[in-house]
A and B are shown apart, each in its own frame.
Chain A
Amino acid sequence: MSYLGGRGFELPTAQIGVSRWRRFRASVDWPLVLVVLAIAAIGLLNLYSATHGTRHAGKFDQQLRWMFVGGLAFVVATVLDYRALVRVAWLGLGAAVIALVIVDVAGHDAKGSERWITIGSLGGQPSELAKLAVILVLARLIQDTAGQRPSWQSLAPRLAALVLPVVLIAIQPDLGTASLVTLIMLSVGFLALRDLWPMVYTLFAMLLAVPLLWENMHDYQKGRVLAFLDPSADPTGMGWHTRQSIFAVGSGKVTGKGFQEGTQNQCDFLPEHWTDFPFSVWAEEWGFLGALVLLGLFGFLIVWILNVATSARDHAGAVVCVGVAAMTFWHVLVNVAMVLGMAPVVGVTLPFISYGGSSVLTFFLGMGLVASVSLRKHGY
């Protein structure tokens, strides 16, 4: 049963005269591909507008290269059987954990927190790719335990292994990504588990842990939260980003100021707007209507991925899709809410729009996994 009502169509597995390529082409999830391309195009357009003619102009070319690499990754992930990846999911998580440990121990310091490792000239944030590893492991876990009631003793080590990357990300410290990974795991749990009560207990326990977390936060992190609670209290300090972002978005009014006409981003009132605040640039230059279009595309993308999930042929595929949908959803929600002054400023990117190789690669790979699930839903 397809949620959107689209009827699947059966292809004979060995029809004479139909090449593998044509079958492949007919089975590829084109709506998914098109909506991802549309969002990525908006991202490039937006980055061009924000950086062209400034000393950051080189960022556009760089992003274009990453998009190209991301596109390749998407194709590779589509062609690869996701089941093979789910089979080696623990290995992937292991690699992610090792990378995170390297970052924690020897990472290169950006803004008081270590999130980067440098390999040759390429820098990367393993915490982004760790999300995919976590999603694959969740798929594996749910696949393994489907139809049985596993004992706590057998489950505990695997759950602990899942929590390990979250802890490693949190101590970088990157609370934004850590909570995002947590949200992805919770979402998958709520959507895919038969019994919801363990999830309810977990959520309750986590809420109780919040005060403990506050005690261990860095000052700049506390500052961001406090600034979020009252952005006008210190206009040049912590609340500055939020205030200027709200000004930018609001000043776009209904139809926006036009391409490259956004004074807030063109005049540098939004520092680092290409990574954390691209939505602000978009909303300033294209207005309420432009913002609606972009949110609509994201909404469609998420619903489409969930649709793929419901029609997946196995547990693993469904969970992979739910995981990628949850990752996309939480990134969009947290990033846009932050831009609109509804959430504290955290380093959570807007999928395909934010500048940055790790984010671009992670989301293209994620979409590739979904496409892979979609391709194989009918037994191909």
Chain B
Amino acid sequence: MTAALPELARRMRWVMLFLFLAFGGLVVRLWQLQVLRGDRYYDQTVDNVVHERLLPSIRGRILDRNNVPLADNRPAFNLYATPRAFSPSALGELRRLLGLSDEEVEKVRTRVEAGRKRAAGQPVLVLEDQPRERAARVEQERFRLPGLEVRHEPYRDYPQGAMAAHVLGYMSQMTAAEVERLEASGYRPDEQIGRYGLEAMWENYLRGKKGRERFAVDARGQRLDEATAAGLIKGDRIIEPVAGYSLVLTLDATLQKLAEKAVAIHPAAAVAVVEVKTGRVLALVSKPSFDPNVMTGHLTRAEEKFLNSDPRKPFIDKTLRATYPPGSTFKFVSTVAALEDGLAQEEEPVACTGSYERSGTTFRCTGSHGKLDLLAAIQRSCNIYFWTLAERVGIDRLAEVANQFGFGSRTGLGLNGDSPGRIPTRAWYEERTRFKIGYTINSATGQGDVDVTVMQVAMAYAALANGGTLFVPQLVDRVIKADGGTVIAYEPQVKQRLTTPPEVVDLWRRGMWKAVNEPGGTAFGHATSEIVPILGKTGTAQVKSRRQRKDEPEIKGWHPSTDHAWFAGWAPADEPEVAIVVLIEHGGSGGKVAGPVARTILEGWWTKVRAAPPAAGAAPASGGAP
């Protein structure tokens, strides 16, 4: 047989070689991909379709002492986007469908971009807590919104609104640095974290343990049906989450509400009400406040700017973080020091002329009180009497007593800063300048360089009321499981036991009784109550003059150069149960301004909180000091 094309037959050897090389090349490549790297690519394709999603654990609740929920969870619609499948056009579509604001669009964009850098296949939270209509819209149009997903998840809710906001705190998205730090301990980048107050401090107890669900998706990030998923996923599909522990507080929601209402007319104030025999905090108010519901994922830039520019500093806890000169509420320190040292007598008269001259400086009293004894001095808050006592004991002795009562050191609550404040000593001044007797005089009346927190004053007055036990303030009564079982119950904690003799405390108490309940007393007619016997000491603390900044918004009724108004006391007078401290920031006169607030709160406590269950006739008929 002769071939038609002899050239073809001749070249066939080369053709076969070429074919062999070409197919050999394909086979070698197949070998490389399937045999050598097969396992790696196999894992990659599993990653392609099997996604892991953490099931949120339900955050523990925060309850008041009667189990009224202060921080709770409610179902919410969260929008998640898978960066790989979520295109700019999908964002445009989303914006059009939901009518997103520029701010929201920007938020979605930055979160998607951050997610893309981390793991483009993992859905990231882009819009939290969306209204039902928006969620329904997205569900309806999900085929036009590739990579977008609505999840129904628990969301932090504060059913009482802004009530006790500084105590509770709020939640917010983690910063990039926090994500880096906390990812190892199981936090996901789009999770919220406790940001302030108890939410931050008790984060580890509240958050619980997340569960895990694995599911299969196709290339567009759409979930595949259960049957397909079951075939693709090996091992457990779902690990159930564990709910966080709940906190039962010592706080009383009724009293807290009452206290907040009592300071409603004042632009800035702080109130602390504590049980004198345990140090348990019943109410803790810091004003101005914020709504944790807004702070938790709904804070707009405008609101944030407004809150940050407020000269009253809403985010500084005025009971624990901010420090103030205590004014005349501090006079018990010089009294206790002088009586303990035998340098004063109850009956010893001192003449008040209205002014007091020491080393070339004239110190002015609140008025010209004439000749008065110690009780009358407390009643009318005569500065000159206490300056005299202070000069006898000296500044270091004042500081010693102040320290005993907890000033100058942290209360131990550990919340929101818990400032130690400052109690200056002679050495403290000598480090800075030349010591002058004027410093002692200033310290005696809680001015000059004395700085205290409202909580410190409350604990000190509680110690005076209970006869000498200084407690660590307590806010969390117990930690409970989701099913109600107790995990930890906290006992009252003593900070220190004081050595103040009972008769010294008794004398101070009699003075305070006069201040509130007898004519001429600084709080007479202001804190005097027909309902519950109250006693207390007022304070009108001068502030170091501060010029108002030009860019500060004007706040009506609040001026940074006006005195602080204080009232510190307890009720009932003879059988003290609660101590109260009211501070009206730049409020003016302690008796006139802070006194009525304290009275309102204590009367409310007596009738609405303590009286439930009502105890008829429990009120002692006489509050008169012996």
Chain A contacts to B: CB under 8 angstroms: 1-3, 8, 190-194, 235-236, 244, 246-254, 261, 263-264, 266-269, 271, 283, 287-288, 291-292, 295, 298-299, 302-303, 306, 309-315, 317-319, 322, 329, 333, 336-337, 340, 342
A317 to B12 alpha-carbon distance, docked (Å) = 16
Query: Would A311 and B3 count as touching, CB distance under 8 A?
Result: yes
Do the beta carbons of B217 and A267 come within 8 Å of each other?
Answer: yes
Docked-complex contact B30 and A288, CB < 8 angstroms: yes
Chain A residues with Cβ under 8 A from B46's Cβ? Answer: 263
Q: Which 8 A-B pairs have the closest CB atoms?
A: A250-B41, A253-B38, A250-B33, A267-B218, A251-B45, A288-B34, A251-B42, A268-B219
A342 B5 Cβ-Cβ under 8 A: no
A333 to B29, CA, bound (A): 12
Bound form: Cα–Cα A333–B120 in Å: 34
Q: Out of A266, A288, A311, A342, name the residue touching B35 (CB < 8 Å).
A: A288
Checking B2, B11, B12, B45 against A263 with a beta-carbon cut-off of 8 angstroms, the contacting residue is B45
On chain B, which size bracket covers the interface? 35 or more
- Given A192-B5, A267-B49, A329-B19, A253 and B39 touching (CB < 8 A)? yes
Main secondary structure of the interface of A (DSSP, over half): helix
Residues of B contacting A340 in the complex (Cβ-Cβ under 8 angstroms)? 26, 29-30, 33
Looking at the assembled complex, report how far the CB atom of A271 sits from the nearest CB atom of chain B, in whole angstroms: 8
**Once the chains bind, are A306 and B41 in contact (CB under 8 Å)?**
no
14 residue pairs from A and B, CB less than 8 Å apart: A191-B7, A191-B15, A251-B41, A263-B49, A267-B218, A271-B219, A288-B35, A291-B34, A292-B27, A315-B5, A318-B3, A337-B25, A337-B29, A342-B29
The one of A261, A266, A268 in contact with B220, judged by C-beta atoms closer than 8 angstroms, is A268
A298 contacts across to B, CB distance below 8 A: 23
Most buried by B among A2, A247, A291: A247
* Contact yes or no, B5 A263, CB < 8 A: no
CB distance from A158 to the nearest CB of B (A): 19
Q: Complex Cα distance A292/B48, Å?
A: 26
Cβ of B31 within 8 Å of any chain A Cβ, yes or no, is yes
Given A267-B49, A299-B19, check contact A252 B5 (CB 8 Å). no
Question: How far apart sit A261 and B3, CA to CA, in the bound complex (Å)?
Answer: 49
Chain B residues near A292: list those with CB within 8 A.
27, 30
With A253-B38, A263-B49, A340-B30: A236-B3 Cβ-Cβ less than 8 Å: no
Residues of A within 8 A of B216 (CB): 263, 267
A318 touches B4 (CB 8 A): yes
Choice from A246, A266, A269, A302 contacting B19 with Cβ under 8 Å: A302
CA distance A318 to B10 in the complex (A): 14
Give Cα distance in the complex from A342 to B27, angstroms.
Answer: 12
- Judging by beta carbons under 8 Å apart, are B219 and A318 in contact? no
Q: Are B22 and A333 in contact (CB under 8 A)?
A: yes
CB distance from B33 to the nearest CB of A (A): 4
**Interface presence of B355 (CB below 8 A):** no
The CA of A94 and the CA of B543, in the complex, are separated in Å by: 103
Q: Which of B195-231 contact A (CB under 8 A)?
A: 216-220, 224, 228, 231
Known pairs A310-B5, A311-B3; A268 contacts B218 (CB<8 A): yes
Per-residue interface assignment for chain B, residues 121 to 161, with 1 indicating a CB less than 8 Å from any chain A CB and 0 otherwise: 00000000000000000000000000000000000000000
Q: Is B487 on the interface with A (CB-CB < 8 A)?
A: no
CA distance A266 to B224 in the complex (A): 10
Q: Could you tell me if B1 and A2 are in contact, using CB atoms closer than 8 angstroms?
A: yes
Contacts of A333 in B (CB 8 A): 22, 26
Which residues in B have their C-beta under 8 angstroms from that of A287?
34
Does residue B305 face the partner (Cβ distance < 8 Å to A)? no
Q: A283, B34: Cβ atoms under 8 Å?
A: yes
Query: Which B residues from 20 to 65 make CB contacts under 8 A with A?
Result: 22-23, 25-27, 29-31, 33-35, 37-42, 44-46, 48-49
Cβ-defined partner of B8 (8 Å) among A251, A288, A310, A314? A310
* Residue B9, interface by CB 8 Å: yes
Of chain A, the residue at the smallest CB distance from B12 is A3
A1 near B37 with CB under 8 A, answer: no
| Residues A251 and B38 in contact, CB atoms below 8 Å apart | yes
Q: Does B509 contact A (CB under 8 A)?
A: no
**Residue in chain B with minimal CB distance to A248:** B45
* Contact (A193, B7) CB under 8 Å given A251-B42, A263-B49, A267-B49: yes
Interface status of B232 (Cβ within 8 A of chain A): yes
Output the least CB separation between B238 and chain A (Å).
21
Contact partners of B38 in chain A: CB under 8 A: 250-254, 288
Q: What residue of chain A has the Cβ atom nearest to residue B50's Cβ?
A: A263
Which residues on the B side are within 8 Å of A318 (C-beta)?
Answer: 3-5, 8
Besides A247-B44, A269-B218, 14 new A-B residue pairs in contact (Cβ under 8 A), listed by A number: A191-B15, A236-B84, A236-B120, A244-B48, A244-B219, A249-B30, A250-B42, A251-B44, A263-B232, A267-B219, A269-B219, A295-B30, A317-B4, A340-B33
Residues of B within 8 A of A244 (CB): 48, 219
How far, in whole Å, are A76 and B249 apart by their CA atoms in the complex?
92
Report how far A271 CA is from B218 CA in the complex, Å. Answer: 11
CB contact under 8 A between A267 and B48, given known A192-B5, A252-B34 = yes
Name the one of B26, B35, B231 contacting A295, with C-beta atoms under 8 angstroms: B26
With a CB–CB cut-off of 8 A, which chain B residues contact A1?
Answer: 1-3, 9
Let me know if B265 is at the binding interface, CB within 8 A: no
For B3, what are the chain A residues with a Cβ–Cβ distance below 8 Å?
1, 310-312, 318
Q: Does B16 contact A (CB under 8 A)?
A: yes
**Given the contacts A1-B1, A3-B12, A8-B1, A267 and B224 also touching, CB distance less than 8 Å:** yes
**Cα-based distance from A318 to B27 in the complex (angstroms):** 29
Q: Which residues of A contact B19 (CB under 8 A)?
A: 299, 302-303, 329
The residue on A at minimum CB distance from B85 is A236
Residues of A within 8 A of B40 (CB): 250
Residues of B within 8 A of A310 (CB): 3, 5, 8-9, 12
- Provide the bound-state CA to CA distance between A267 and B1, in Å: 55
- Distance to closest chain A CB from B23 (angstroms): 5
In the bound assembly, the distance between CA atoms of A194 and B48 in angstroms comes to 54
CB < 8 Å neighbour of B33 from A246, A264, A266, A271: A246
Most buried by A among B11, B19, B34: B34
Please pick, from A252, A264, A271, A337, the residue contacting B26 in the complex, using a CB distance under 8 A: A337
Separation of A99 and B84 alpha carbons in the complex (Å)? 42
Q: Contacts A3-B12, A268-B218, A283-B34 hold; do A309 and B48 have CB atoms under 8 A apart?
A: no
CB distance from A159 to the nearest CB of B (A): 19
Q: How far is the CB of A123 from chain B (nearest CB, A)?
A: 26
